[in-house]
Amino acid sequence: MKAPDFDGLLAEYCRTSVPALPSSFSANVLREIRLRGAEIKKESGWVASMFSCLSPGMVAASLSVALVVGVFAPGLARGSDASMAANGLGLNAFSTSKMPSGLLR
pLDDT tens for the chain, residues 1 to 105: 677 789 899 999 999 988 888 889 999 999 999 998 887 766 667 777 777 777 888 888 989 999 998 888 777 766 554 556 666 777 766 666 656 655 555
pTM as predicted: 0.32
Q: Return the half-sphere exposure (C-beta side, CA atoms, 13 A cut-off) of residue 52.
A: 6
How far is residue 7's CA from residue 101's CA, in Å, rounded to a whole number? 103
- What's the domain count of the chain? 1
In the chain, the amino acid numbered 63 is L
| Domain annotation covers residue 37 | no
How far is residue 29's CA from residue 37's CA, in Å, rounded to a whole number? 12
Task: Provide the domain limits for residue 80.
Answer: 55-98
Q: What pLDDT, on a 0 to 100 scale, did the predictor assign at position 92?
A: 65
| Domain annotation covers residue 79 | yes
| Domain annotation covers residue 92 | yes
Q: What pLDDT, on a 0 to 100 scale, did the predictor assign at position 64?
A: 94
